Structure 1
Amino acid sequence: MLFGDLPIPERFNAAARAGFANVESWWPWPDANPSDAEIDRFVTALRDSGVSLRALNFWAGDMAAGDRGVMDDVEQLSDFRENIAIVIGIARRTGCRTFNALYGKGRSGASETQRREVAVANYREAARAAASVGGTVVIEPLKYPDNGHYPVLTLDDADDLRSEIGEPNVELLVDTFHLSANGVDVPAAIAAHANHVGHVQIADFPGRGRPGTGDIDFVAIGTALRGIAYEGYVGAEFVAEGSIPTPGELAAALETAR
């Protein structure tokens, strides 16, 4: 998101020039099953830039058209299952070990019960595949009502789903923008789910800008993350206006630079 004005392969070099050694990426293609040549270009661009891929989304449907995941969609089942193998193939080539699987917003028109059954089964398949490379699948709450009938709005929701899935390598994604938009006390939620925070993304609210442009207390969030001894990565998933903040500046916003 920091380099959204550039073609995806060029964003890695831009991240490196801005001082980042690690990056994360949404699914880079509109399709679940890109060609081998497209995957090769992605992996080569990543390797040539010198940065490491730390988190990658599974295919989430047509994001530009409003899709927010396909885990709950029986009509997309075969495409998603094929996508799992492709994601794990990329993981083997890049060392990526964190994989974000968006739930979905009910595009098939199925009942809530049917959607849940399909989603749980898909999360289990994704988690078992991720385990083959030592990876973790994370569940992300999204902002209401912008994302339709997306049922995971809080870390409590995500943790209920995690428990139902029942795989040991399924964890929670803390996105400060989405959670704050849904009225969640983010530091308290981090503390309440201390054992299952698998990834963190930061953006301020309102506006989804860099820390300091909205109302979120990032010092409190940094304190909460230190309080649970979080050792994972923090993704800068915000819309940058003007200059790109350095990793050190972002760390300072969370008081982790000291």
Structure 2
Amino acid sequence: MTKLCANLTMLFGEVDFLDRFAQAVNAGFKGVEFLFPYAYDKQQLAEQLGKHGLVQVLHNLPAGDWAGGERGIACLPDRVGEFQDGVGTAIDYARALGCKQLNVLAGIAPAGVAPETIHDTFVSNVKFAAQALAGAGIRLLIEPINTYDIPGFHVNRTRQALDVIEASGSENVFVQYDIYHAQRMEGELAATIEKHLPKIAHMQLADNPGRHEPGTGEINYPFLFAHLEKIGYDGWIGCEYKPASTTAAGLGWAERYL
């Protein structure tokens, strides 16, 4: 059965963030995800989840200066201490929110640093985070992100994420498979998902081009949803798209799943 969760960072942007939990419930969602919780008191967020009976499906580890253009720090050799501190902060929030999986954003590969050093830094940080999260009963996810939207992003294909998982030696690391990013970088969506299903713990969606809701672009979402049910994917799918107009006006595609 297809389980959709609302990405509160992307959806319901017309209302204050703390009011988006109610909007998600009113739209029929039973779970939510968002980029970062750290600007809010964790108890404040936990109260919203409890009040509306929502599952906190996912959020990211701290990712540096997002407003300043950083898109993760896990591959940056000079930020390892900051990354490790962020893991502790993320676990603290995840426990308060009942969140069972956290995503690590690799970040943009720094100029002037050997590719091997960047890779080794990311693998080491993933290993550290996976071990810390395992002790808290939380899974670590790696998300490949397309290099059209974020030029230079260190992990941009499914195979790269799987190679990092293997190199980490940890059984507590999985792929966050974003259909939109995967379509832009590699295509072969159905075959790739089926081949690597045991290592895919979470999925996200948006159509292409435009990163709007399903039905606005080239991706055959009715086929993909039927395929996911056929192969037995039982995780959540995060609706991480930019509504073409308003969220409510564009939710017709999701009625049968909500």
TM-score range, shorter chain: 0.7 to 0.9
Choose which of 1, 4, 12 in structure 1 pairs with 2:13. 4
Asked if the contact 2:42–2:96 (Cα under 8 Å) also holds between the matched residues in 1, the reply is no
Rounded Cα–Cα distance in structure 2 between residues aligned with 1:6 and 1:207: 22
Asked if the contact 2:37–2:59 (Cα under 8 Å) also holds between the matched residues in 1, the reply is no
SS in 2 for 1:65: coil
- Return closer, same or farther for 1:159/1:93 CA change in 2, 3 Å cut-off: same
- The letter for the 1-side match of 2:222 is V
Q: Which moved more, 1:182-191 or 1:40-49?
A: 40-49
Provide, for residues 96-151 of structure 1, a one-character-per-residue CA deviation record: whole Å limited to 9, x for no partner.
11111011112464221111111111111111122123221111111123312213
Rounded Cα–Cα distance in structure 2 between residues aligned with 1:156 and 1:251: 33
2:89 pairs with 1:86: yes
Residue 183 of structure 1 corresponds to 186
2:133 pairs with 1:130: yes
SS in 2 for 1:78: helix
Provide, for residues 25-52 of structure 1, a one-character-per-residue CA deviation record: whole Å limited to 9, x for no partner.
11134xxxx6xx7333333333333322
Number of matched residues?
248
Rounded Cα–Cα distance in structure 1 between residues aligned with 2:82 and 2:185: 31
TM-score normalised to structure 2 length:
0.87
Residue 244 of structure 1 corresponds to 248
Moved over 4 A (4+): 245-249
TM-score normalised to structure 1 length:
0.87
- Cα displacement (A) at 1:249: 4.4
Asked if the contact 1:191–1:227 (Cα under 8 Å) also holds between the matched residues in 2, the reply is no
- The letter for the 2-side match of 1:92 is R
Residue 77 of structure 1 corresponds to 80
CA RMSD of aligned residues (A): 2.2
Asked if the contact 1:70–1:102 (Cα under 8 Å) also holds between the matched residues in 2, the reply is yes
- The letter for the 2-side match of 1:172 is V
2:212 pairs with 1:209: yes
Rounded Cα–Cα distance in structure 2 between residues aligned with 1:159 and 1:218: 24
Rounded Cα–Cα distance in structure 2 between residues aligned with 1:162 and 1:227: 26
Percent identity reads 30
Asked if the contact 2:60–2:103 (Cα under 8 Å) also holds between the matched residues in 1, the reply is yes
Rounded Cα–Cα distance in structure 1 between residues aligned with 2:35 and 2:206: 16
Where in structure 2 are the equivalents of 1:98-117 lying within 5 Å? 98-107=101-110, 109-117=112-120
Asked if the contact 1:55–1:98 (Cα under 8 Å) also holds between the matched residues in 2, the reply is yes
- Return closer, same or farther for 1:92/1:172 CA change in 2, 3 Å cut-off: same
Q: Which runs of 5+ in 1 are unaligned?
A: none
SS in 1 for 2:175: strand
